[in-house]
Structure 1
Amino acid sequence: MIHFFEKGSGQPLVLLHGFCESGQMWSYFSEALSDQFRVICPDLPGFGNSPISSNKISLEEVAVQLEEWLEENQIHQPIVIGHSLGGYVALALLELMGNQIKAIGLFHSTSFPDDQDKKEMRDRTILFLKKNGVEKFVTSFVPPLFPENRREELASEISLAIKDAKRSSLDGLIAYAGAMRDRKDRFEVVKNFIGPKLFIAGTEDGAVKIEASRAQQNGFSHYVELQGVGHMGMIEDQEKTLSIVRTFCLSAI
């Protein structure tokens, strides 16, 4: 059972949240874009109000669940944009559904797999979660997603992000840490997709290094770098990123 909310009508636009997030992270975007699109924001299984049945899942399994959910809710030819983990899920969905997806966007995400250092970090995350639980993990995980020099300025936004992250289930966090660690390289999947493709990168992103983003640039029809922005551009540079997403989505229809 995938919980979601939607606003507006017309061309479907599915916004997928990242790790330790829920569909609520897109509240501002969904409201702003609902004047031109049918904006749909699901909670991925294990986050927000969507349950998960175990602490093991693959991105391919999530994509199958989303494909079924899209069909059930008559969401056809959607534009799919995913933040971080949501981007990984969007790529798995693209591989599954191909030209049934109208356009795709990666928001502080990557089509590349984890390198060895990142895989080891995922393993440490799983051990930490099993030992310490959700609250202790998210309290330490969320703030570094924002640039250090702006954390005081964005204190209230960070506080809200932590509050939303605490709604994540322990099984969900463990499951997706493993799924992200084990995900495959999908650069060729996105490169071979003939629809419009958006990539938004932050020059100060600690989770997706700018060098890795630039290495994928030729796989996307629209590539944008946000100067001085970390991993949370939709919060750090709200109006600019909203404009980028709107312009891309309008160009895709």
Structure 2
Amino acid sequence: MSSINFFEKGSGQPVILIHGFCEVSQMWEDIADELSDQFRVICPDLPGCGKTVLNLSQNKLEEVAVQLEEWMESQNIQNPIITGHSLGGYVTLALLELMGSKLKAVGLFHSTAFADDEEKVGMRNRTITFLKKHGVDTFVTSFVPPLIPEHRREELQSEINDAIHQAKQSTLDGLIYYTKAMRDRKDRIEVLKSFAGPKLMIAGTEDGAVKIQASRAHKPAVSDYFELEGVGHLGMIEQKSACIEILKGFCEKANG
């Protein structure tokens, strides 16, 4: 098993923040700083991302979940609150299915428990073709900016540039692996519904990757639902303060 690269801040109740597709653990630094005064905040690089080597072959999120569970055991991370952004949310749900009541609470941040529909599967297949032809740098340079609504891209250009720089730390094999894993993942809405612990969803009304209608369909399955008005897929950039407030409040409530 390859080791998981991560950083952690603070002490107390463990809170794991899992990054998304074309992202690395560094994306959580500001949020981790804010949460670390009350919690032990741990931010891993997923296999094939950042400084964690990809040592997986099945293109399945279940495989990633097993590796992360072993990593948690090695780091004495018990009863964590886990929140994942986008792909990180899919990984969180795979961990929830694997570990169940060993998790204290879960959060989906611009993510979904539903499987890909036919349109999304086609998009994933085109992504794989593009990656194989053009490579990581060209892909992420075109992939990241549209995650933010067009009218805010000029204002947030510095943050977008930082996100692109982080995305370039992804490996080609890693991006292809996760594109296939996301494409083939199963529906886990019943897994989410059946979990008795606190469950958070943060959605953006202008999210092009996870449509707001799909997010709203999760309301009966979660205990805490928040919509960020006018926000796309990167709420931690577009409305950082609001996201910090929501995450801190949820973690406090879950730990209460």
TM over 0.5: yes
1:120-199 mapped onto 2 (5 Å cutoff): 120-199=122-201
Percent identity for Structure 1 against Structure 2:
65
User: Which residue of structure 1 lines up, in the alignment, with residue 42 of structure 2?
Assistant: 40
Structure 1: state its 5+ residue gaps. Answer: none
Cα distance between partner residues in 2 of 1:144 and 1:17: 18
Q: Which runs of 4+ in 1 moved over 6 A?
A: none
Distance in 2 separating the partners of 1:219 and 1:54: 31
Deviation at 1:87, TM superposition (A): 0.1
Which of residues 30, 33, 57 in structure 1 aligns to 2:32?
30
Map of 1:4 onto structure 2: 6
In 2, distance between residues paired with 1:47 and 1:125? 17
In structure 2, how many angstroms separate the alpha carbons of the residues matched to 1:17 and 1:55? 20
Q: 1:238-249 alignment to 2 at 5 Å?
A: 238-249=240-251
Q: Output one character per residue of 1:144-202: Cα deviation in whole Å (capped at 9) or x when no partner.
A: 01111100000000000000000100000000000000000000000000000000000
| Structure 1 residue 57: Cα displacement | 2.1
Asked if 2 retains the 8 angstrom alpha-carbon contact of 1:55 and 1:172, the reply is no
Amino acid in the other structure paired with 1:179: A
Query: SS of the residue aligned with 2:17?
Result: strand
Q: Name the CA shift for 1:125/1:71 in 2 (closer, same or farther; >3 Å).
A: same
The corresponding residue for 2:64 is 62
Deviation at 1:53, TM superposition (A): 3.0
- How far 1:216 moved relative to its partner? 1.1
Which residue in 2 is equivalent to 1:94? Answer: 96
Q: Distance in 1 between matches of 2:25 and 2:59?
A: 19
The answer (yes or no) to whether the contact 2:16–2:42 under 8 Å persists in 1 is yes
Q: How big is each residue's C-alpha offset from its partner over 1:213-239, in whole Å with a ceiling of 9 and x where there is no partner? A: 011111000000110000000110000
> Where do 5+ consecutive residues of structure 2 fail to align?
none
Code of the residue aligned with 1:223 in structure 2: it is Y
Q: Does the 8 A contact of 2:56 with 2:63 survive in 1?
A: no
Counterparts in 2 of 1:56 and 1:127: CA distance versus 1, 3 Å: farther
